[in-house]
Structure 1
Amino acid sequence: MHFHTRLLGLLLATGSLGAAAQQSAEVTVSGSVTPVPCNVVLAGNGVADFGALVASDFSATDPNQLGSQFIGTTVTCTSGTQVAIEVTDNNSATAAPDNTPIIVGATATGNNVASSASASSFMGMGTAPNGAAIGNYIIAVTNAISDSTPAEMIRSEDSGATWAAAAHGVARENIYYTWATPGQTAPLSVSTATIDLKVTAAMDDMTTMNADADNITLAGSATLTLVYL
């Protein structure tokens, strides 16, 4: 969330007749003005759990698709507010798009995402004990509802200056997503709005990660930030 604080400095001068030196004192007036407060809640504590995986069930030589998990997301504001979301990869140093060049069914509409076209959307899942990158995942926004009414998500690549339709819904850093009336590209003011975060993942081959000998723990982490428009 972005909050802005402005400070005003007032200089009060006092004086007297005669030769006495002038004295002054500064009074600082401080405070803050914030937009209508909004909160975001992620179902299941925001965990996309792909379960207990067994190395022998996966390819030793090719990338492995893990499918999708969905995280219900609810934004509530005390009154109608234009607010967007931005997703940031907290583990970007471990992203390795070339290791899983395609993530199957990752968009909001179920299309594949190729690293050659959208590498910046591939988020890291940590490293194996041998230092190899485990794989990548993609977050897409889908199933938008605004104040109990079906909506669509729109996106901005210039901090909210302009908006466009976002049918594929794939999130990445520095992209804002917000709710709009279907077919429109103007942000709605929302009191309660929901989406599903579709988390779709793929792992590298088991040989590269030495998965037959080592325990591998998926460790993806992303932050969802509310941005007031």
Structure 2
Amino acid sequence: MKLTHTLLTLAIASAAAYAPNAFAQSTELTIVGKILPGACNVALSEGGVADFGDIRSNSLEEDTSTMIGSKDLTMTVTCDSAVRFAMQGVDNTGDTSFVTNRYGLGRTADDEKIGSATIGLKAVTVDDASGFATTSYNQGETWSDSVVPGPAPIPRDGMIGFATTQGVTTGPDAVKSLQGTLEVKAYIAPTAGMTITGEVPIRGSATINVMYL
């Protein structure tokens, strides 16, 4: 009798395991990630502020943009060990740029776009050797030919990195340190489209993200 009970129990368990409706739904979990060789720190001189000072409205063009100057900041990226990385810009001002694909300078009190700015890297060295700029606009699947930056724009819709060899399309090399000059050029929109009855503060803001590859 005891043996029969055991066999019956096994038979029920087996039937349940193969019943088509026993488990109506299931899902699969995939666990992914990357172990990176080291972290990187990014630093900008002048506290990361490109100060263009006071601008007189009578020095600005009415019907075309006016470039109010260029400011250079020293940018350094220092990693614990050699790492492949690229940089991407984020415009923190939202939709305020007067020119597409540039960075915005904020809006006037009457919600008018003040202007735009370009941000680029030049005179780049990687591990004390010349750095050649290479860009990708498809999440790093393909890269442009590496060239001497003069300056190389930091894109908002792509990534820029640096190789140690000119003319390659293999993307950025793994480097431990990078140094270059961050050039910021600012342009004020035509004043005919702005209300300037008092002081108009320029409020440009951008974040440069270092992305590990």
Look up the SS of the partner of 2:191 in the other structure: coil
For residue 68 of structure 2, the aligned residue among 66, 69, 84 is 66
Is residue 142–residue 153 contact of structure 1 (8 Å, CA) maintained in 2?
no
| Alignment pair present for 1:157 and 2:137 | yes
Q: Name the counterpart of 1:200.
A: 185
- 173-182 or 213-222, which deviates more: 173-182
Q: Name the counterpart of 1:228.
A: 212
Q: How many residues align?
A: 177
Q: Name the counterpart of 2:88.
A: 86
Tell me how far apart the structure 1 counterparts of residues 192 and 200 of structure 2 sit (CA, whole Å).
Answer: 12
Tell me how far apart the structure 2 counterparts of residues 174 and 58 of structure 1 sit (CA, whole Å).
Answer: 30
Q: Residue 61 of structure 1: CA displacement? A: 3.9
Unaligned runs of 5+ in 2: 1-32
Q: Residue 33 of structure 1: CA displacement? A: 6.2
Deviations 1:20-57 (A, max 9, x none): xxxxxxxxxxxx86421111111111111111111122
Provide runs of 4+ in structure 1 moved above 4 Å. none
Is residue 60–residue 188 contact of structure 2 (8 Å, CA) maintained in 1?
no
Q: Name the counterpart of 2:44.
A: 42
Tell me how far apart the structure 1 counterparts of residues 154 and 34 of structure 2 sit (CA, whole Å).
Answer: 30
| Alignment pair present for 1:146 and 2:131 | no
Deviations 1:35-82 (A, max 9, x none): 211111111111111111111222344321112212211001011111
Matches within 5 A, 1:5-154: 34-35=35-36, 36-97=38-99, 119-120=100-101, 122-154=102-134
CA root-mean-square deviation = 2.1
Structure 1 length normalisation: TM-score? 0.70
Is residue 98–residue 189 contact of structure 2 (8 Å, CA) maintained in 1?
no
**Matched residues, percent identical?**
26
Amino acid at match of 1:147: D
Tell me how far apart the structure 1 counterparts of residues 169 and 34 of structure 2 sit (CA, whole Å).
Answer: 28
Structure 2 length normalisation: TM-score? 0.75
User: Counting helix residues as a fraction of each chain, which structure ranks higher?
Assistant: 2
Q: Name the counterpart of 1:5.
A: none
Deviations 1:191-225 (A, max 9, x none): 111122211111123343222x2211111111111
Q: 1:34 to 1:219 in 2, by over 3 A?
A: farther
For residue 163 of structure 2, the aligned residue among 156, 180, 196 is 180
Tell me how far apart the structure 2 counterparts of residues 70 and 188 of structure 1 sit (CA, whole Å).
Answer: 25
Amino acid at match of 1:43: S
Is residue 38–residue 78 contact of structure 1 (8 Å, CA) maintained in 2?
yes
Q: Residue 185 of structure 1: CA displacement? A: 3.2
Is residue 159–residue 174 contact of structure 1 (8 Å, CA) maintained in 2?
no
Unaligned runs of 5+ in 1: 1-31, 98-118
Is residue 88–residue 156 contact of structure 2 (8 Å, CA) maintained in 1?
yes
Is residue 87–residue 171 contact of structure 1 (8 Å, CA) maintained in 2?
yes
Tell me how far apart the structure 2 counterparts of residues 225 and 34 of structure 1 sit (CA, whole Å).
Answer: 19
User: Counting strand residues as a fraction of each chain, which structure ranks higher?
Assistant: 1
